[in-house]
Chains A and B, each alone.
Chain A
Amino acid sequence: MGMTMTQKILAAHAGLDHVEAGQLIEADLDMVLGNDITSPVAIHEIDKMKVDGVFDKDKIALVMDHFVPNKDIKSAEHVKEVREFACENCISHFYDVGQMGIEHALLPEKGLVVAGDVVIGADSHTCTYGALGAFSTGVGSTDMAAGMATGKAWFKVPQAIKINVTGKPAKYVSGKDVILHIIGEIGVDGALYQSMEFTGDGIANLSMDDRFTIANMAIEAGAKNGIFPVDDKAIDYMKSHGTREYKVYEADADAEYASELTVDLSTLKPTVSFPHLPENTHTVDEIDEIKIDQVVIGSCTNGRISDLAVAAEIMKGKKVADGIRVIIIPATQQIYLDAMEAGYLRTFVEAGAIVSTPTCGPCLGGYMGILAHGERCVSTTNRNFVGRMGDVTSEIYLASPAVAAASALTGFISDPERI
Chain B
Amino acid sequence: MENAKGKVHKFGDNVDTDVIIPARYLNSSDPAELATHCMEDIDADFTKKVSAGDIMVATKNFGCGSSREHAPIAIKASGISCVIAETFARIFYRNAINIGLPIIECLEAAAAINEGDEVEVDFDSGKIYDITTGSEYQGQAFPPFMQELIDAGGLVNRINKNA
Contact = CB atoms under 8 A, between A and B. Distances in A.
Contact of B156 (A40, A145, A386): A145
Contacts of B99: 140, 142
Contacts of A143: 94-95, 98, 155
B67 A74 contact: no
A28 to B, nearest CB: 16
Contact of A154 (B22, B23, B73, B145): B145
Interface string B50-77: 0000000000110011111110110000
A24 interface: yes
B87 interface: yes
Interface in B1-44: 14, 16, 18-19, 22-24, 26-29, 41-42
Q: What does DSSP make chain A's interface, helix, strand, loop or mixed?
A: loop
A143 B159 CA distance: 11
A124 B29 contact: no
A333 interface: no
Interface string A191-235: 011000000000000000000000000010010100000000000
Nearest to A71: B27
A418 interface: no
Interface in B147-161: 154-156, 159-160
A193 B24 contact: no
B95 A392 contact: no
Most chain B CB neighbours (cut-off 10 Å) among A51, A75, A142: A142
A222 B67 contact: no
B155 A146 contact: yes
Interface string A66-95: 110001101100100000000000000000
A385 interface: yes
Contact of B159 (A140, A149, A189, A277): A149
Contact of A75 (B18, B27, B65): B27
Contact of A50 (B16, B22, B70, B163): B163
A364 interface: yes
B156 A146 contact: yes
Contacts of A365: 18, 22-24
A392 B156 CA distance: 36
B159 A385 contact: no
A222 B89 contact: yes
B145 A24 contact: yes
Given A71-B27, A143-B95, 10 more contacts: A51-B163, A78-B29, A140-B95, A142-B69, A142-B99, A142-B155, A222-B61, A222-B89, A383-B66, A387-B18
